[in-house]
Structure 1
Amino acid sequence: MSALLYRIGRFSFRARRLVLLSWVLLMVVLGIGAACLAAPSATTFNLPGTESQEAFDLLEERFSEVPLDGGSAQIVFTAENGTVNDPAQRRKITDVVQAAAGASEVAAVTGPFDNGLISPDQRIAVAEVTYAVSFETVRDSSRQELMDLVERSGSAELRVAVGGDVMELMPDVSKELIGLLIAAVVLVITLGSLAAAGMSLIAGVTGVMAGLLGILTATAFMDLGVTTPILALMLGLAVGIDYALFIVSRYTHELSRNPDPEDAIGRAVATAGSAVLFAGMTVVIALAGLSVVGIGLLTEMGLAAAVTVAIAVLVAITLLPALLGFAGRRVLRRGLRRQPAEGVTGATPGRFTLAPRWAALTTRRPVTTLIVALIGLGILALPALDLRLGVPDQGTYPEHTTQRQAYDAISAGFGPGFNGPLLVVVDLAGAQQPADTARRVHTELAGTEGVVMAAPPEFNPAGDTAIIGLVPRGGPDSEETEQLVQLLRGSVADTVGQFGARIAVTGTAAVIIDFSDRMAEALWTYLLVVIGLSFLLLMAVFRSLVVPLKATAGFLLSLGATFGVMVATFQWGWLEWLGIHTTDVVVSMLPIFIIGVVFGLAMDYEVFLVTRMREEYVHGASATSAIRTGFGHGARVVAAAAIIMVSVFAGFASGDASDIVQIGVALAAAVAVDAFVVRMTVVPAVLALVGDKAWWLPKWLDRILPDLDVEGRNIQGQPAPDTAAGEVSGSFVRSVEGSAR
């Protein structure tokens, strides 16, 4: 593999104009495709094989004339003095309803005096707004128009707020620029050159832009959710910059002591590029493995992000060498540019000593290091015992927002269940008298324990299907509502079946239950597939059984700490002082998604660090010496790469959309814990305890596994001498010494 990458690096450097032109043409084609073919984001969420999905499918079939994806909003009126039926208040409410009916993209508005949504104490009333388009495609101007109407309609006597799905906070990536700025600063400090930092940023941004344009083009042929490109942007940008950093760092080291820049880039791509390639493969495997869950949303998110990561790898090993060819020796630190390559030894001896000292400490006292690290990780993981999964709603918004005020007013006036009603679809095709059967079903549902209100049945034109809305006593995420759903699907469904009808229960709480059940069913299959494939890949890369086992165990430690941070942040509110608000629950899809992404990112740093240690070992260094030397060469750049990733993910964590914020916090915490605690502390300590056995592989297995040659043994020609081993700052791996085995 290293020989092939060596040739790719040299070709890209030598034919840099052709390579650059090819990527420019590709970007133009993708840009045209995105501009001409991009379609609105999908608004449907499918859970095939679940009762919730069965109910939606029946609605689409029997109520085809009723649009199911139109956006909606609720205007909530609260009378501070008197009631909403007082003449003055009634006139104000009627005026607001009429004004809302004329707002942009609004299809219809039903006032509280028509729909009967007035609280028992007559202090709170709700008007229902229906839009002609789905909530995700409502224009910002239309949304703002309704919010402006509500804001100017309120008074001291009548408070007015607006909520509903149209008022959901959409993902905003503008704050991501903060993380990108921090990444640029880290690159300049690490590489010591604006040109080198610029090349890394250009490569990272190019890869993610190509991925995003491809995703937008793909929307013409498949339904993709609004969060899919956001997650592709998040992961693609982070890994793209990191991968470029490792190759540029290695190239600057090679160029500082090699008179032939073409050979230098070849060796950089052959060695650091090998680590990038296999690290990227583990991420792609983990992301693509999300498809085994069988949920369209997760599948599309995983595949889109996987394609973006794959493009980032291709950019790093093709476009980046071409860009470096244009930059010349400007990628070197200023003091090294004018010195002859043969005379440059790298950094000033002893300038950076923290990494070697840390490696020496962890390998000299491995047992103590492991005990301290494991205690710390255990403390971080403890809050995970209180993990609650759900779907954060507008009740978790900041208290000053109109969405939160509307949510709280509805809960106060009608009960918490009104914010998460259930919908029962009644199939009457087998009933001899559908209308009478529907009334019997309604009576049975209304008398069920935990149901506060059951709306009268609404029939389709054929009269063979009815829908009945239920308001549960508990909120959407409450245990009481979950028990109600189970009751409706169990004994109540059996009773209704005796009437000749069949019911299917859906709604917010029902979807959450079905989603959580599907996650639990798929979790072990997913772990087996992803960890199994990645284990085989790591075993082939490192020619070891211990290293893959250790890598997997380290991933589990990182995962536990990550979920502990999530609970402490979003359920316990420990980071509210940073403006990160509590949501009371963790997004139900997050665990399996984070498992896949964190596993891929964890293997990134495992590959980056341990390949350098193995390179030292296979060229004659003792086990402990190989750990210390390899760590000394790679730690500084790995630390910089981790800081970049944390900065990128933290940029998303500073947004407003709760699901994106939670993903950003989770990934930032996972990278920080995995890179600095697990990979840079636990890994060298474990390898020191195991010693030479860390690199043992049965001979029969060694013959079966392909020789991937990450160390670069098969590079053509003899490697240039390395006179500054252990002293070169910013290098990931030094050149290979000796000939191939």
Structure 2
Amino acid sequence: MANALYRWGSAAFGHPWRVIVAWLAVVLSVGVISTVVSAGTSNTFEVPGTESQSALEALERTFPEVAGATAQVVVSVPDSTMVSDGARRDIRALVRELRTVEGVVQVLSPYAEGGLISGDERTALVQVQFDVAAAQVSQSQKQALQQVASELTSEGYTTAVGGQAFISTGPGLSPTEALGVVVALLILLVTFRAIVPAVLPVITSVVGVGLATALTMGATGWIDVSSTTPLLGLMVGLAVGIDYALFLVWRYRELLGEGLAGQEAAARANATAGSAVVFAGVTVMTALLALAVPGIPFLRTMGVFAALAVATAVAAAVTLLPAFLGVFGGRLLPARTSPGCRPGQTLMTRLRRGRNASAHTRARQGRWVRAVIRWPAATIVVCVVGLGVLAYPAVDLRLALPDTGSAELGSSERTAYDLISAEFGPGYNAPLLVYADILSTTDPQRVMRDLGEEIAGVPGVAEVVLATPNERGDTGVVVLIPTSGGSTEATANLARDIRDRSTRWEERWGINSAVTGQTAVQIDASARLFDALIPFGLLVVSVCLALLTVVFRSVLIPLSAAAGYLLSVGAAFGAVVAVFEWGWFADVLGVERTGPVISFLPIILMGVLFGLAMDYHIFLVSRMKEDHARGAAAREAVISGFVGVAPVVAAAALIMASVFAAFVLGEDVTVKPIALGLAVGVVVDAFVVRMTLIPAVLALVGEQAWRLPARLDGLVPHVDVEGAAVEEAMELRSWPRPGTPPAVAAQGLTVLDEDREAMFDPVDLTVERGQWLLVEGTQGVGKTSLLLTLAGRMAAFEGRLKVSGHLLPHERVAVRHRVSLAEFALVNPLEEALSVDQHIAERLGSASLGLWVRRRRVDAVRDSLNDLVHDAASATGNDTFEALAGDCLVSQLTPLQRLSLGVALAGLSDPDVIVVDAIDVVRDPDDLDTFWRVLDLLTSPHDVATGSPTGRAAAAIVLSAQPGLLAPDHVRRCELVATRRPRTGRAADRTTTTRPTASPGPVSTTR
């Protein structure tokens, strides 16, 4: 990945306007298409598999008159009239007009049975029933209701239209969201002390999030997308986009300050900082995509499109930003630079070193971290206790989905909600439906009447407004009004109480019942989301542990990171509850209504904060790890790493927190608690957990923090999250010599066993194209392991190794394409039950990616191989060799035939290097002499399939055998000697044992 980012960074810098125009074209095209196909967002919170959702779907089939969405028109009469007197004619006219609106199946007049008139007869409630669910009620239908009500308003009445049909809203963007970008820009100006580098991260993040928002809104033409989804994507995309671009610009300016040319600096910045950015972005995306774990469609959609916003932010940072760097070039050079980096420094050393910080600033940072680790145990106790206090309000966390009571204050639906609650009771905004399957009853009317009376006596029921069967008498419904609002715990308890009575009703009347309706769906969705918190939390913590174990190759560091993450999440939950449920600072933050928070807040908060916390942890601790790996004591590594990384991480955290905080001041009541939780979580995690608690923990445990048990060390893969491979490749670009590299070059090379111990003394190797190298060693010394390492199939080694111009282990994939294995036991053995022709066809098909191979191609390869082997046998006087028959099974071949076939198959892909293991299986001296001649002919520059010369340089050959094998003089030898000392960790400390037996020049042999 780092190499691809390096090439892209160089290309984008060299052709900036092409990249910029392409990005703008894509964003504008997607934006136009999105505008055309977008169907708008909605707030439908369906939870498949719940009792309420299943019952609602059944009602839609058997009793659609009561299954659709409801709307409510509240009418307040002028001071001089009463609802039951002079206003009667006008309200009845309103009812008649409402019945003419498209999609309306029923309108309940306040004067009919079950109608509602307030006690002072000044307010009437007209209830409207649609034939579709709330998500399907069109904007034109809502406007028609409002238009009919406004006609009454013009005559002196006060009207408000609301209800379930009006829950759906579009994304509530407001100018306050831009405040976070402004604050972020100010922080960037302070960080860079220049305008251009401060503006570039904002531009690229806005472009990236603009593309994600357009894609999200365009998707509403095909799928349901909640109104919170684009806002969440905008919030997260802006925050991470600015931060990621900040790291890239910082790295680019450092490289310019070191004297690199602009294009090379951009390429290296993209390869090193870009690799970390991609890794960080993938971490956040993984956490967001994990929102699919609870199995709730709207939450899964939210996670997917939020992850899309992060993906576009990453894409803009690593593709568009290098183009802008190409436009401005050297104008981004820092005004003051410090001396260059020490040799061998990788991304995190220089990316986060903060060189432009003043000496005073560095000293202040050093004083802070020294104070933190002076008494580490006390620091840990203070942090844990303090964060525990912040998290305490979370014990009162209550969840609910939004209703019209969450709408903007002053809107029609919010006014209707408040009037209904005040004049009739909060339960009239949250009716519950009891579905009853009465197909087996003989008297549906009586059963439904008795059921209604039974439900009316349940504590918490204010009124039963309807209890009736449908026309066919197979389904009944009871509409009840709770005494409490829909988002209260009392209403949730009422729903559970009614469900608990269903068994008794089944025994009494033989009916199956279920609680449903929009209010019940919201209650069930909240319960499902709450139940998913523990599995989701375990998943996130498990991913955290696995991820950091791979990155840091430690056990204690992942455990401390996971514990710190949980403390940050707890503090974020506590802040949300304190503000949105307890009412602390509610007026300051513009919180108009306290109560339960949005049901999906905990999962979203845990997912997003996980990704961000891991970013900060990696940026900080990896810098400490670098210094420790270079010999610094554990305590000093914590100090130097903190001082080097703190400025950039602090700036990134402040930027992210400011973006989130801006959404707290916005008008969308669904996003406000999420934004507050993320803002508090980021600040707590960056400044309290990562910059205070973690340094104290690392100082307390000392050297143990950087150790991984030997048993795990062999299982945990090596991951380059810093782009160190590119920097190492740049440093070793001219090694072992400038110009065309040898086929194989190794210095101080030794392979490690499963216990991470050296298998043999280090060796130095240089094998040119056309040369042959015979690796000798006793059984078990590691000959096969060395050959597999040279072929890019094993990564556990020490020393420098470059094969076909590619540095290992970082460029293993490229090496595997240029190195071909002849038959290796237990790795790629020839299948005993297949014939010679079948093996040739299989290898030809793999090389060409074809599903089948022409017969004549197989015959040509076999005939060419037989001709070469015949020539070799004739030249060596070996009359015992027999030609290979196409239908001959591998199990029937002699060792010489089998080895010759294996080398021929390896040469079909025209590799740079061919490795052949255990050639001493050929024991007969005459056959061995023939094999050397076969090898000479097979590796000459010719087309194996036709035998015609190609003019291409011959491939290098690396073979292995037991010591003492007879070989031609031009074959170079390398003897492996088993190490007799424990591994010291430095290959250069061991003796190099390389024993050539002839000149290292090109192979000279008669063709």
Letter in 1 for 2:332: V
> Do structure 1's residue 347 and structure 2's residue 345 form an aligned pair?
no
Per-residue CA deviation, residues 136-159 of structure 1 (Å, 9 max, x unaligned), is 8526977876786687666xxx76
Alpha-carbon contact 1:74-1:126 (below 8 Å) kept: yes
Alpha-carbon contact 1:275-1:611 (below 8 Å) kept: no
Which residue among 110, 113, 128 is the counterpart of 1:112?
110
Alpha-carbon contact 2:580-2:596 (below 8 Å) kept: yes
Which residue among 426, 447, 459 is the counterpart of 2:457?
447
Alignment correspondent of 1:323: 324
Alignment correspondent of 2:613: 602
Letter in 2 for 1:73: Q
Per-residue CA deviation, residues 328-366 of structure 1 (Å, 9 max, x unaligned), is 0222345679x9999x99537515333333223223332
SS of the counterpart of 2:223? Answer: coil
Q: Where do residues 172-571 of structure 1 align in structure 2 (5 Å cutoff)? A: 172-174=172-174, 175-334=176-335, 347=356, 349-353=358-362, 354-395=364-405, 406-496=416-506, 498-571=508-581
Q: Quick one: structure 1 residues 40 and 616, their matched pair in 2 at CA, closer, same or farther if it must change by over 3 Å?
A: same
Q: Quick one: structure 1 residues 310 and 143, their matched pair in 2 at CA, closer, same or farther if it must change by over 3 Å?
A: farther
Per-residue CA deviation, residues 379-407 of structure 1 (Å, 9 max, x unaligned), is 21122222222235455678776655543
| Distance across 2 between alignment mates of 1:57 and 1:106 | 19
How far the C-alpha of 1:67 sits from its partner, in A, is: 7.4
Alpha-carbon contact 1:188-1:197 (below 8 Å) kept: yes
Alpha-carbon contact 2:42-2:170 (below 8 Å) kept: no
| Distance across 2 between alignment mates of 1:643 and 1:666 | 15
How far the C-alpha of 1:121 sits from its partner, in A, is: 5.1
Of 561-570 and 252-261, deviating more is 252-261
Alignment correspondent of 1:630: 641
Of 526-535 and 134-143, deviating more is 134-143
Alignment correspondent of 2:707: 696
Alpha-carbon contact 2:401-2:526 (below 8 Å) kept: no
**Cα RMSD over matched residues?**
3.5
How far the C-alpha of 1:291 sits from its partner, in A, is: 0.6
Letter in 2 for 1:530: V
| Distance across 2 between alignment mates of 1:104 and 1:330 | 63
Alpha-carbon contact 2:663-2:672 (below 8 Å) kept: yes
SS of the counterpart of 2:235? Answer: helix
Q: Quick one: structure 1 residues 427 and 636, their matched pair in 2 at CA, closer, same or farther if it must change by over 3 Å?
A: same
Q: Quick one: structure 1 residues 375 and 81, their matched pair in 2 at CA, closer, same or farther if it must change by over 3 Å?
A: farther
Alpha-carbon contact 2:45-2:525 (below 8 Å) kept: no
Larger radius of gyration: 2
Q: Where do residues 716-727 of structure 1 align in structure 2 (5 Å cutoff)? A: 716-718=729-731
How far the C-alpha of 1:470 sits from its partner, in A, is: 0.6
Q: Quick one: structure 1 residues 152 and 302, their matched pair in 2 at CA, closer, same or farther if it must change by over 3 Å?
A: same
| Distance across 2 between alignment mates of 1:626 and 1:3 | 30
| Distance across 1 between alignment mates of 2:683 and 2:161 | 39
SS of the counterpart of 1:714? Answer: helix
| Distance across 1 between alignment mates of 2:295 and 2:565 | 24
Letter in 2 for 1:332: L
| Distance across 2 between alignment mates of 1:187 and 1:351 | 20
| Distance across 2 between alignment mates of 1:132 and 1:433 | 27
| Distance across 2 between alignment mates of 1:221 and 1:409 | 36
Of 19-28 and 558-567, deviating more is 19-28
| Distance across 2 between alignment mates of 1:419 and 1:712 | 57
Letter in 2 for 1:637: V
Q: Quick one: structure 1 residues 607 and 245, their matched pair in 2 at CA, closer, same or farther if it must change by over 3 Å?
A: same
Alignment correspondent of 2:908: none
| Distance across 2 between alignment mates of 1:299 and 1:507 | 23
SS of the counterpart of 2:111? Answer: helix
Q: Structure 2 stretches of 5 or more lacking a match?
A: 343-349, 734-798, 801-807, 809-985, 987-1007
Count of aligned positions: 717
Alignment correspondent of 1:730: none
Per-residue CA deviation, residues 261-287 of structure 1 (Å, 9 max, x unaligned), is 233223323332232222222211111
| Distance across 2 between alignment mates of 1:633 and 1:326 | 30
Alpha-carbon contact 1:392-1:584 (below 8 Å) kept: no
Alpha-carbon contact 1:105-1:138 (below 8 Å) kept: no
SS of the counterpart of 1:658? Answer: coil
More contact order relative to length (CA 8 Å, sep ≥ 6)? 1
Of 95-104 and 607-616, deviating more is 95-104
Alpha-carbon contact 1:9-1:265 (below 8 Å) kept: yes
| Distance across 1 between alignment mates of 2:535 and 2:110 | 50
| Distance across 1 between alignment mates of 2:117 and 2:357 | 77
SS of the counterpart of 1:467? Answer: strand
How far the C-alpha of 1:240 sits from its partner, in A, is: 0.9
Alignment correspondent of 1:662: 673
| Distance across 1 between alignment mates of 2:370 and 2:145 | 59
Of 248-257 and 361-370, deviating more is 361-370
Q: Quick one: structure 1 residues 702 and 327, their matched pair in 2 at CA, closer, same or farther if it must change by over 3 Å?
A: farther
Alignment correspondent of 2:630: 619
Q: Structure 1 stretches of 5 or more lacking a match?
A: 721-737
Alignment correspondent of 1:51: 51
How far the C-alpha of 1:8 sits from its partner, in A, is: 4.1
| Distance across 1 between alignment mates of 2:104 and 2:495 | 33
Alignment correspondent of 1:735: none
Per-residue CA deviation, residues 688-727 of structure 1 (Å, 9 max, x unaligned), is 212222221123322322221234442212299xxxxxxx
Q: Quick one: structure 1 residues 67 and 457, their matched pair in 2 at CA, closer, same or farther if it must change by over 3 Å?
A: closer
How far the C-alpha of 1:598 sits from its partner, in A, is: 1.5
Alpha-carbon contact 1:397-1:581 (below 8 Å) kept: no
Alignment correspondent of 2:73: 74
Q: Quick one: structure 1 residues 499 and 271, their matched pair in 2 at CA, closer, same or farther if it must change by over 3 Å?
A: same
SS of the counterpart of 1:453? Answer: strand
Alpha-carbon contact 2:502-2:512 (below 8 Å) kept: no
Q: Quick one: structure 1 residues 170 and 36, their matched pair in 2 at CA, closer, same or farther if it must change by over 3 Å?
A: closer
Of 626-635 and 4-13, deviating more is 4-13
How far the C-alpha of 1:618 sits from its partner, in A, is: 2.3
Which residue among 656, 660, 682 is the counterpart of 1:645?
656
| Distance across 1 between alignment mates of 2:515 and 2:77 | 32
How far the C-alpha of 1:594 sits from its partner, in A, is: 1.4
| Distance across 2 between alignment mates of 1:245 and 1:43 | 35
| Distance across 1 between alignment mates of 2:88 and 2:325 | 71
| Distance across 2 between alignment mates of 1:112 and 1:143 | 17
Per-residue CA deviation, residues 213-263 of structure 1 (Å, 9 max, x unaligned), is 222333344322222222111111111111111111111111111232233
Q: Quick one: structure 1 residues 555 and 151, their matched pair in 2 at CA, closer, same or farther if it must change by over 3 Å?
A: farther
How far the C-alpha of 1:639 sits from its partner, in A, is: 1.6
> Do structure 1's residue 124 and structure 2's residue 123 form an aligned pair?
yes
| Distance across 2 between alignment mates of 1:550 and 1:308 | 29
How far the C-alpha of 1:595 sits from its partner, in A, is: 1.4
Per-residue CA deviation, residues 382-437 of structure 1 (Å, 9 max, x unaligned), is 22222222235455678776655543442344333222110112222333443343
